[in-house]
Structure 1
Amino acid sequence: MTDWRSDLELITDAARQAGAVAMQHFRQSPEVWWKNEGRSPVSAADYAANAVLETVLRSARPEYGWLSEETEDTSCRLERETLFVIDPIDGTRAFIAGLDTWCVSVAVVHLGKPVAGVLVAPSLDEEFSASEAGEATRNGVPIRVSRHIAGDHLRLAVAEDLLNRLDPLFVRDVERIKHVPSLAYRLAMIADGRIDGTLVKRNAHDWDLAAADLILERAGGSLVDLAGERLVYNRAKVSHDELCAATNADLPRLLRHLGLGLQG
């Protein structure tokens, strides 16, 4: 069994460097462009952070494949058993708006599964990390998902229009959480017990998910599709359909209600 701790140390150092570069642009009105037919913003900070990550990581592990939101994708990565999966700034809209909830997301994926992952949120002075056989941590301290007391509300990050389609008896016990633009950070919030679950809308990508997926798993939660299946990374198609993330205790009930809501 491979020990991925050295890779975790490598990606943590690289993510910190990228976060420091991004902070030089934060709240400094960086230049912004629009991609995907004007639906998705990208800033000069995204490109600068991506350049740091690519320089550090590809020189350290030239045999690894590469998948980043801000690097043109090629089929070469499909030939590699191991690759880096990168989002130089997850939560670009928050970053551009001057909000703190954005992070650098870096994962090592091996045979379709994340085996090392780190989220660096420099504006919040937070770091989340995990390796395949280790604990999930926040700023070096082990974290676990929440444990409910009877009668507690389920704290969910769910779009209001979807919540309104669910069983009113279920909704009565839900505390809806204000939208968090960074999907990776939202998953980390489940991992450290601040919320209990979330629905991930269609078209999230490997780079949004891989690092946070592993952190959540090692903290006692899961990210799955609506059939309850874990994700496979480094496929030809890197986007995903609707997903659900929650504590392992809450996942079955949440999947049942979300599945019915989406089908209704």
Structure 2
Amino acid sequence: MPDDKTFEPSAGFKHAYKEDKLLLEAAAYQAGELALRYFNRDPQVWTKKNASPVTEADLAVDAFLKERLLDARPDYGWLSEESEDNPDRLGKQRVFVIDPIDGTHAFIDGGTEWTISLAVVENNRPVAAVLYAPVRGEMYCASRFGGTELNNVPVVCPRLASLEGARVAGPRPAIARGPLARAGVQNAGYIRSLAYRIVMVTTGALDLALARGYSNDWDLAAADLIVEEANGVLRDKKNMVLKYNMPNVHHDCLFASCKALSRLVAPMMPSLQFPQRRQD
């Protein structure tokens, strides 16, 4: 059974979450303008210790967001893919969880699906979130108990109760072999921004999004709230709710879908074949 422990909001929660969402939305738009200055202009690229790429755009956006957001909320903690982790975040009531550019491979290759992912986490769960795809002009926003919007229009995950013909994106082995293949799903291709792949279930562009293990808080926190507030679910392979701002920021294999479809997918997760090589 999923870990659906009741979220315990802080005093004045609704106003605070909405204000944080508005802050994230404004910052994401500015960060997108900054990132676009480097897009399709051969930015400098380095390889990190985990063999993943980082560009000068990632670093510039990270620096901008850190200054912009912490100036506005100096008492919040900070966790970002491109910043050195500070354990002080564990003692903060609220923490910014940021991926300056999610889908760096797509950014380098001139793809359009890369995103800027911003969330505020409280009590180990996201309470405000924005995911912005600048090239596609798509701004997903959510606040806890406030619903999800795409470009200011409310969105709710379409209800789907059958896997036959369901559009699925994620690692190929999990889709092409095993129970999902036998259920007759359609491989919708590989979306190189994990966060974007997840939120696509809110509009019906995808019915099911999958990810191999070792994704991180910054890949997931914003997308998690966006899906949840759109009446969908993001769960790990044990069908558990994800927790953020923990000492270990890594997560297991996971899936996102509408609630009805999740009841079919969750029992399959332990038997799906996820690759060991990082693809997300």
Q: TM-score range by the shorter chain?
A: over 0.9
Aligned equivalent of 1:119? 131
Equivalent residue, structure 2, for 1:32: 45
Superposed CA deviations along residues 59-94 of structure 1, whole A, max 9, x for unmatched, are: 110100000001000111011121100000001100
Structure 2 counterparts to residues 218-237 of structure 1, below 5 A: 218-237=229-248
Q: Return the TM-score normalized by structure 2.
A: 0.89
Identity of aligned residues (%): 41
The 8 Å contact of residues 145 and 193 in structure 1, kept in 2 or not, is answered as yes
Residue 151 of structure 1 deviates from its aligned partner by: 8.4
Match in the other structure for 2:59: 47
1:76 aligns to 2:107 (yes or no): no
Q: 1:180-215 CA distances to partner (integer Å, 9 max, x unpaired)?
A: 000110111011211111221111000000001000
95 and 151 in structure 1: CA distance in 2 versus 1, 3 angstrom threshold: closer
Partner of 1:133: helix, strand, or coil? coil
Q: 1:57 aligns with which of 69, 79, 86?
A: 69
Determine the C-alpha separation between the residues in 2 that align with 1:182 and 1:63.
Answer: 30
How many Å apart are 1:261 and its aligned residue?
A: 2.8
Gaps of 5+ in 2: 1-10, 275-280
Q: Does 1:88 align with 2:88?
A: no
Q: Which residue of 2 aligns with 1:241?
A: 252
Amino acid at match of 1:70: E
After superposition, the Cα gap between the structure-2 partners of 1:51 and 1:160, relative to the gap in structure 1 and judged at 3 Å, is same
The 5 A counterparts of 1:72-221 are 72-148=84-160, 153-167=165-179, 171-221=182-232
Q: Which segment drifts farther, 252-261 or 197-206?
A: 252-261
Q: 1:131 to 1:148 in 2, by over 3 A?
A: same
Task: Work out whether residues 145 and 219 of structure 1, in 8 Å CA contact, stay in contact via their aligned partners in 2.
Answer: yes
Distance 1:261 1:212 in 2: 22
Q: Which runs of 4+ in 1 moved over 4 A?
A: 149-152
- Alignment check: 8 A CA contact 1:192 1:219 kept: no
Separation of aligned partners in 1, 2:215 and 2:161: 32
- TM-score, structure 1 normalization: 0.94
Once the two structures are superposed, what CA deviation does each residue of 1:71-122 show, in whole Å capped at 9, x if it has no partner? 0001110111211000000011000000010111000000101000001111
Partner of 1:257: 268
* CA root-mean-square deviation: 1.6
